[in-house]
């Protein structure tokens, strides 16, 4: 591969659009380059389930014609990838399960419609954990981490993460029920945003758990995340949780000052199950934010220990409720781990579910109280770096406390609904990325993106890219 092509593949969205506008590269050229890279690298990454080469090139040609006719747009002609649970008209949408292996939706989901309306080019549908439940189906496998092919890209949006990190898409769409955007983003050195619950429509997204599901982007820079968010946010009557709030100011707010912003440094989540190098890098990131003018204060929030116990019964019960009719007809089409978890979901007592929803309200109230004193809460996105591939095998069932470790840091914001972004905060000695999580006030997603943007620009972690060996 030539140096120039590599440079184009790893441009940010804003840089790519500038290159389009200067006539240095066309959308067709950028799309063809991405398709060639998918052909070359995806054999080892397993990031894509379906590649839409012909449709992508047609969309790119249309984008180039539109630009020539004077149209502009922050996503016009930009090749992106969609997790394979976003409905795509006429294109199979599998959710990485044999249950939906041949399912072809009649129409695009709300987010897909908005991205296409903004001129984005859809390269394909990305691999994921089966039905976003956190475990891969053996027939689809896990996506490999471009920084270390022996490690997972994480889940459940691991395909989108692997694709964007390796330069096989300029952005990837994901979904996040307990951390499924932020965890893979942290593991692969990307920015991943779980927007405020209700800000981005989930209509046309295969659900996992209605009251915890969110849709959001994974990108290589914070500005790119803001660009995507501005394109996809907004009220949608087709999503019962959709909120009528003002949207569209994420990009505009990025460069506003952060001096004097108050950060609550959640000490409990710097220590609970956290690897030493992860803790060290996250603490350095807080020091960097202080150097940029933010005021950081260490706080203890003991109720964070309840995140795992509260989120699991909700997730298990709602997922089993959604899947019950299919379980009756096609239980053997689920992978072994998701099958077991769906069956286990039938044992969650109504009392357990309601206890969880009561503790959820307590957690929400506690976070709202913190936001009377702080502008953002800060802690490592995940306690560990990316796990080795097949950490659980394809059949071993992870149990209570193991799940608590994985979901304890990210599930908090799913329960409370607050926006949370993971931004790269360095690399371990072994060269594995680590993420810092910033959580903000409801519907003030722009605030955490502003903090993350200032941090990113001061550190430059986003300029590092993996060399994928084929």
Partner 1 sequence: MLQRLFASANMALSSRDLAIVSELYASFSGQRDRLAGAARPETEPMIIPAFERVYQERQAGDERAS
Q: Which residues are catalytic?
A: 83, 156, 180
In the list 14, 283, 333, 344, the residue contacting partner 1 (rule: CB under 8 A) is 344
CB 374 within 8 A of CB 260: no
Q: By C-beta, is 2 or 399 nearer to partner 1?
A: 399
The three-state secondary structure class of 302 is helix
- Write the binding mask 206 to 245 for partner 1: x where contact by CB under 8 A, - elsewhere: -----x-----------------------------x-xxx
| Contact set for partner 1, span 436-465 (CB under 8 A) | 441-443
Nearest by Cα to 118 from 66, 75, 81: 75
Could you tell me the smallest distance in angstroms from the CB atom of residue 225 to partner 1?
21
Give the bridge partners for 88, in sequence order.
91
> Does the protein bind partner 1 through residue 399 (CB under 8 A)?
yes
Of the ranges 23-31, 38-46, 151-159, 343-351, which one interacts with partner 1 (CB under 8 A)?
Answer: 343-351
Interaction of residue 321 with partner 1, rule CB under 8 A = no
Q: Which stretch binds partner 1 (CB under 8 A): 33-41, 138-146, 252-260, 336-344?
A: 336-344
User: How many whole angstroms separate alpha carbon 383 and alpha carbon 304?
Assistant: 14
**Quick one: residue 23, left, alpha or beta (phi over 0 = left, psi -120 to 50 = alpha)?**
left
Q: From the list 357, 390, 428, 459, which residue makes contact with partner 1 (rule: CB under 8 A)? A: 357
Site string for partner 1, 285-314 (x = CB under 8 A): ------------------x-xx-xxx-xx-
Burial of 400 (C-beta count, 10 Å sphere; 0-12/13-18/19+)? exposed
Q: 382 and 432 in contact (C-beta within 8 Å)?
A: no
List Cα–Cα distances, 467 to 9, 10, 23, 27, in angstroms: 12, 12, 28, 24
Identify any residues that bridge with 80 across adjacent strands, giving them in sequence order.
122
Number of neighbours of residue 7 by Cβ within 10 angstroms: 13
Q: To the nearest whole angstrom, how small is the minimum distance from the Cβ of residue 350 to partner 1? A: 10
98 or 357: whose CB is closer to partner 1? Answer: 357
Instruction: Report DSSP letters for 393-410, one per residue.
Output: TTT----HHHHHHHHTTT
Q: Which residues of 320-343 are buried (b: 16+ CB within 10 A; e: fewer)?
A: bbbbeebbeeeeebbbbbbbebbe
Residue 273: left if φ>0, alpha if ψ -120 to 50, beta else—which one? left
Residues in contact with partner 1, counted by CB under 8 A, come to a total of 49
Nearer to partner 1, 115 or 327 (CB): 327
Question: Which residue in the set 139, 277, 352, 394 belongs to the binding site for partner 1 (CB under 8 A)?
Answer: 352
Tally of residues, the chain: 470
Least CB distance to partner 1 at residue 61 (A): 41
The answer to whether the peptide bond before residue 156 is cis (omega within 30 degrees of 0) is yes
What part of residues 180-199 is at the interface with partner 1 (CB under 8 A)? 196-198
Establish if 400 lies at the interface with partner 1 (CB under 8 A).
yes
**By CB under 8 A, which span of 24-32, 217-225, 352-360, 385-393 interacts with partner 1?**
352-360
Enter the DSSP assignment of 375: S
Please say which residue, 92 or 364, places its beta carbon nearer to partner 1: 364
Which letter does DSSP use for residue 381 in this model?
S
Kindly state the smallest distance separating residue 369's Cβ from partner 1, in Å: 12
CA pair distance 350, 358, nearest whole angstrom: 12
Q: How far apart are CA 233 and CA 246, in angstroms?
A: 9
- Measured CA to CA, the distance from residue 208 to residue 288 in angstroms comes to 37
Q: Which is nearer to partner 1, 93 or 177 (CB)?
A: 177
User: By CB under 8 A, is residue 401 in contact with partner 1?
Assistant: yes
Residues 6+ apart with CB under 8 A from 90: 104, 105
Nearest distance from C-beta of residue 76 to partner 1, angstroms = 31
Output the smallest distance, CB 347 to partner 1, in A. Answer: 5
Q: Cβ closer to partner 1: 234 or 417?
A: 417
Q: Which residue's CB is nearer to partner 1, number 141 or number 398?
A: 398
Find where tokens 């399912």 sit. 103
* 379 binds partner 1 per the rule CB under 8 A: no
Q: How far is the CB of 261 from partner 1 (least distance, A)?
A: 17
Of 360 and 462, which has the nearer Cβ to partner 1? 360
Q: Which of 102, 328, 460, 469 touches partner 1 (CB under 8 A)?
A: 328
The total of other beta-carbon atoms located within 10 Å of residue 266's CB is 24
* Interaction mask 102-141, partner 1, x per CB under 8 A: ----------------------------------------
| 212 vs 425 by CB, closer to partner 1 | 212
Residues making contact with partner 1 (CB under 8 A): 196-198, 211, 241, 243-245, 303, 305-306, 308-310, 312-313, 324, 327-328, 331, 339-341, 343-344, 346-347, 351-352, 354-362, 364, 368, 397, 399-401, 404, 417, 441-443
């Amino acid at each position: 591969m030539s140096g120039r092509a590599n440079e184009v593949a790893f441009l940010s969205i804003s840089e790519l659009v500038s290159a389009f506008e200067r006539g240095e590269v066309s959308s067709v050229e950028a799309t063809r380059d991405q398709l060639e890279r998918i052909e070359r690298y995806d054999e080892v990454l397993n990031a894509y389930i379906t590649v839409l080469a012909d449709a992508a090139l047609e969309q790119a040609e249309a984008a180039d014609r539109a630009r020539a006719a004077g149209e502009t747009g922050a996503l016009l002609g930009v090749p992106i990838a969609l997790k394979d649970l976003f409905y795509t008209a006429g294109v199979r949408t599998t959710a990485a399960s044999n249950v939906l292996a041949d399912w072809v939706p009649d129409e695009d989901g709300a987010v897909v419609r908005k991205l296409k309306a903004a001129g984005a080019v859809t390269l394909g549908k990305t691999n994921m954990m089966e039905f976003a439940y956190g475990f891969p189906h053996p027939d689809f496998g896990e996506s490999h981490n471009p920084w270390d092919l022996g490690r997972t890209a994480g889940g459940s949006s691991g395909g989108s993460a692997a694709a964007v990190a390796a330069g096989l898409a300029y952005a990837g769409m994901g979904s996040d029920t307990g951390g499924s955007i932020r965890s893979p983003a942290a593991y692969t050195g990307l920015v991943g945003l779980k927007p405020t619950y209700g800000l981005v429509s989930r209509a046309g997204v295969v659900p996992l758990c209605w009251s915890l599901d969110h849709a959001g982007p994974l990108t290589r820079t914070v500005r790119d995340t803001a660009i995507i968010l501005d394109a996809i946010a907004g009220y949608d009557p087709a999503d019962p949780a959709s909120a009528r709030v003002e949207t569209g100011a994420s990009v505009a707010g990025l460069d506003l000052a952060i001096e004097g912003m108050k950060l609550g440094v959640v000490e409990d989540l710097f220590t609970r199950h956290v690897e030493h190098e992860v803790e060290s890098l996250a603490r350095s990131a807080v020091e960097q934010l202080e150097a940029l003018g933010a005021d950081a204060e260490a706080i203890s929030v003991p109720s964070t220990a309840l995140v795992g116990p509260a989120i699991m019964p909700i997730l298990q019960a709602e997922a089993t409720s959604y899947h019950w009719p299919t379980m009756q007809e096609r239980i053997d089409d689920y992978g072994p781990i998701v099958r077991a978890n769906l069956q286990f979901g039938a044992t969650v007592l109504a009392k357990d579910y309601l206890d969880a929803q009561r503790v959820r309200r307590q957690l929400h109230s506690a976070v709202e109280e913190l936001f009377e004193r702080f502008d953002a809460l800060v802690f490592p996105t995940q306690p560990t770096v990316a796990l080795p591939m097949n950490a659980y095998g394809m059949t071993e069932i992870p149990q209570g406390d193991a799940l608590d470790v994985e979901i304890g840091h990210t599930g908090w914001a799913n329960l409370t609904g607050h926006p949370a972004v993971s931004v790269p905060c360095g690399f371990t000695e072994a060269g594995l990325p680590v993420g810092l999580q910033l959580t903000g006030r409801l519907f003030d997603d722009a605030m955490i993106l502003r903090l993350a943007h200032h941090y990113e620009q001061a550190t430059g972690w986003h300029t590092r890219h993996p060399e994928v060996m084929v």
